[in-house]
Structure 1
Amino acid sequence: MTKKRYVLLILILGSLTALGPFSIDMYLPGFVAIAKYLGTTSDKMALTLTSYFIGISVGQLLYGPLLDRYGRKNPLYFGLGLYIAASIGCFFSTSLEMLIVMRFFQAIGSCAASVAAMAMVRDLFPVEENAKVFSLLILVLGASPMLAPTIGSYITAAFEWQVIFLILTIIAVLILLAVIFFLPESYQPDPSYSLKPRPIIGNFLHVLKNKQFLTYSLCGAFAFAGLFAYVSSSSIVFIDVFKVSQKSFGWIFAGLSVGFIGSSQLNSVLMKKYKSEQLVYASLIWLVFTSVIFLIGSLNGWFGIGGTITMIFGVLCGVGISYPNTAALSLAPFTKNAGSASALLGAFQMAIGALASFGIALIKSQSPLPMAAVMAVSAVVALLTLLIGKRFIKHKVEASADSGIIAH
């Protein structure tokens, strides 16, 4: 594979991965304007976000079997087409109920992009390069929280809120064209793969029975929950607790994103010397250390805004290194069922991430304490999952410089 071809594949797969998050971040600044236009409140507008998350959760499991049955590109065409149609529906929405429904279908469509991208990494690249490729995808994905809210705020200020969904439609059309003309079909359709409920459930159970998948997908999802805890409570911590302006909050949010993105790129360098398994172990120990210090400091009022930013930055760095390696190790054992494995991997992340967000709401405290507590608990559970799960992995699949995969 030429370097030019390699970069092009990374950009396309990264764009597919970022489509869903970009669709969330970009319209958040328009909440007030949309609520006013639809004759509702900002609180009720949150239902459009809820319906999007429900759509993501459902869609993750929907596309896994389809990707294994029909190949990667045909379900991807369907998903992107659905996303485009739903985005146009959002553009023409005249009621809150219509926007809620359109956002649900927009999420279902975006899931095809993210699940297919994960599976195609496993298809197109040698196993020993998977973690490196996931790190590069994070570089593209990380642009979302840095760019999308800013773009959305400028669009809302200069135009009607509907233009946000027009821009999202155009982005999806460009991605679809790139998929059609530049992304190869990486997995041939398998007519023997049944789409009846019992065989589908059987395939998911087959994936879940793989101890390596179960261990690394769960510990990775719990580690990734630290990012969900940050996103769901960052505005409360910085705007309500530390009283920063919305503009300053945007800069803080962008700056902290650098920790997540930068560490994921550092992971590519570290992989030249260390195995993914070693990096997962080290990153989880780091996560436990930083998040527990953050929790103790929050309980005792040690940290001001500078200390809080530093501790969050440390946690995000740990997540940035653990995520690409746990994802690669989760998918490494699979060739035939990579689509189903990718779907379950995404479903675990969303379910545990939603649980983390719910945990934030349960802790009633106008301080960084809820964020720190959820980060600490999820980090400890992630490390325990790894330590316990590794004992049951009898046939570990890892990278090999010569053959790509070895099992022992």
Structure 2
Amino acid sequence: MARSSPPQLLPGGSFGPWLIVLLGLVSAIGPVATDMYLPAFPEVEHDLAGGPGSAQFTLAAWFFGLAIGQFSQGPLSDRFGRRAPLIIGLAVFALASAGCAIVQDYHLFCLCRFVSAVGGSASAVIPRAIVRDVATGKKGARIMSQLTLVFGVMPVLAPSLGSIVLKFGNWRWIFWVGTVYALAAIVGVLLTLPDTLSAERRIAFSPVRIASRYILILKEPVFLSNALLATFSTFVMFAYLGSAPVLFEQVLHFSAGQFGVFFGVNAAAFILGTQINGRLVHRFAMPVLLEVALLWALVIGMLFVVLALTGVAGEHHPILTCGLITCITGALGFIGPNATVMSFYHHGQHAGSASAMLGTMQFSIGSLSSVLVGLLPGGSAIPTAIGMMTGILGMAIADLMRRRAPAIGSEDD
């Protein structure tokens, strides 16, 4: 007798608050694994005797595993459903994080970081696919905005949490916290998250089909244009995050407390943008909200570049500098969720693969922002301004591509 498919999650109904919180916390595995770890770099280099700068390579191992893992997690979730790959991925992450806390050898530590990223990549891919399973159009944009609220809080809190852990213990405790976090997420998924992909909607798993599916997704104009919008939105955010420590501490001369305040203000602007967007999608079409936010970001971004090049934005006007950044990050709260939802419009049948492709694009292209910022001369706000403006121009080009793509209509399901 054939097994019955898992129950659909809230078909045609609302996405409950608890499930939004759960998926948001699951999605935040990445920030927990990276941002909490950053304050421990000096201790890791000393204890594992990897040499100066060796902690950066452990972070590279994480990002490499994340990129590889996303390519596999998407097709796996399209073949076996959302629950099982998510639970297995979280379990792999938990075990590998425990390994990071135990190992004494630097190379084994890098291996554990890589494996934890491969498992943790499920938490980046599958929640977005779940949202696409249960809602598209305006409802999907609203849910994605709410999900971003929960997910967006963790990058703000994670470095502070890492510092708190280091006050009471050593760097290994951070990875034990990550292990417990993942185990708690597994319990939450097991108890409250049914599968959202029924058996009849699942797709056979084969390397040839996976490759052809990815090619098909990339060739589809609606996905490509909106995915690039979301990707360059990530580029803008990465450019800011990558340059923030130098800008705030060395250029603007903020104390640690001031750094935390202004970092939190900019994060709050992004989160506020997602929440306003989630409410406005009831009244306005997603492309309209996206383009208004993009126009705002273009104007502020150009102003930021001009003021940075002339020396107005920077050391002598810290409030102005932070205000310009805040205006841009607030606009990203409108662009990212809407572009993400619209990119999945034609890919409900293989939302996992589409989510994996989007995540890989965001990571690979977005991470180039740190290279750009690093190549620019320091000691001013210029690297931050040019880095963020580069991403904004990328979004503008992607939006022109989106305008030429077939219209997706308006879905209110």
TM-score by length of structure 1 reads: 0.94
Structure 1 residue 209 displacement after superposition: 2.1
Q: What secondary structure sits across from 1:142 in the alignment?
A: helix
Q: Which one-letter code corresponds to 2:342 in the other structure?
A: L
Is 1:399 matched with 2:410?
Answer: yes
CA RMSD of aligned residues (A): 1.9
Q: How far apart, in 2, do the equivalents of 1:231 and 1:42 lie?
A: 23
Alignment partner, residue 122 of structure 1: 132
Asked if 1:253 is matched to 2:253, the reply is no
**Structure 2 equivalent of residue 49 of structure 1:** 59
CA–CA separation in structure 1 for the residues paired with 2:284 and 2:201: 40
Q: CA deviation at 1:193?
A: 3.1
Using the alignment, how far apart are the partners of 2:365 and 2:303 within structure 1?
A: 22
How big is the shift at 1:287? 1.3
The question of 1:362 aligning with 2:375 is answered yes
Matched, 1:216 2:229: no
Quote the Cα distance in structure 1 between the aligned partners of 2:294 and 2:301. 10
User: Aligned in 2, Cα 1:286/1:85: closer, same or farther, shift over 3 Å?
Assistant: same
SS at match of 1:112: helix
- Counterpart-to-counterpart distance in 2, 1:312 and 1:242: 13
3-state DSSP of counterpart to 2:410: strand
| 1:315 maps onto 2:328 in alignment | yes
User: Does structure 2 retain, via aligned residues, the 8 Å contact 1:128–1:398?
Assistant: no
In 2, Cα distance between equivalents of 1:215 and 1:338: 16
> Per-residue displacement from partner, 1:237-268 (whole Å, max 9, x unpaired)?
11122222233322221221111111111111
1:30 and 1:207 mapped to 2: Cα distance?
39
Partner of 1:387: 400
Q: Are the aligned partners of 2:138 and 2:281 in contact in 1 as well (CA < 8 Å)?
A: no
Alignment gaps of 5+ in structure 1 = none
Q: Is 1:334 aligned to 2:323, yes or no?
A: no
Q: 2:34 aligns with which of 10, 19, 24?
A: 24
- For 1:13 and 1:107, the matched residues in 2 are separated by 18
Structure 2 SS opposite 1:400: coil
Q: 1:189, CA displacement in angstroms? A: 4.2
- Greater CA deviation, 245-254 or 24-33? 245-254
Task: Render the CA deviation track for 1:204-257: whole Å, top value 9, x for unaligned.
Answer: 111112211111111221122110001111001111222222333222212211
Instruction: Output one character per residue of 1:360-400: Cα deviation in whole Å (capped at 9) or x when no partner.
Output: 11212321111111211211121122113321x23x33433
Structure 2 CA distance for aligned equivalents of residues 189 and 63 of structure 1: 17
Match for residue 269 of structure 1?
279
Instruction: Indicate the residue corresponding to 2:5 in structure 1.
Output: none
Q: Deviations over 1:1-50 (max 9, x none)?
A: 59996011101111111111121111111122222222345522111111
Q: 1:254 to 1:62 in 2, by over 3 A?
A: same
Q: Residue 236 of structure 2 contacts residue 390 of structure 2 at CA under 8 Å; is this kept in 1?
A: no
Report if aligned partners of 1:280, 1:321 keep a CA contact under 8 Å in 2: yes
Indicate which of 95, 101, 107 corresponds to 2:111: 101
Q: Identify the residue that residue 343 of structure 1 maps to in structure 2.
A: 356
Unaligned runs of 5+ in 2: 1-9
The yes-or-no answer on 1:242 pairing with 2:255 is no
1 CA distance for matches of 2:324 and 2:95?
42
- Kept in 1, the 8 Å contact 2:136–2:411? The answer is no
Quote the Cα distance in structure 1 between the aligned partners of 2:72 and 2:104: 29
Distance in 2 separating the partners of 1:318 and 1:119? 24
| 1:232 paired residue number | 242
- Counterpart of 2:3 in structure 1 is none
Task: Indicate the residue corresponding to 2:168 in structure 1.
Answer: 158
Cα distance in 1 between the residues matched to 2:371 and 2:285: 34
Aligned residue in 2 for 1:131:
141
Contact 1:218 1:382 in 2 (8 A): yes
The count of residues paired between Structure 1 and Structure 2 equals: 400
User: Once the 2 structures are TM-superposed, how far is the Cα of residue 296 of structure 1 from its aligned partner?
Assistant: 0.8
Structure 1 position 272, deviation (Å): 2.0
Aligned to 1:72: 82
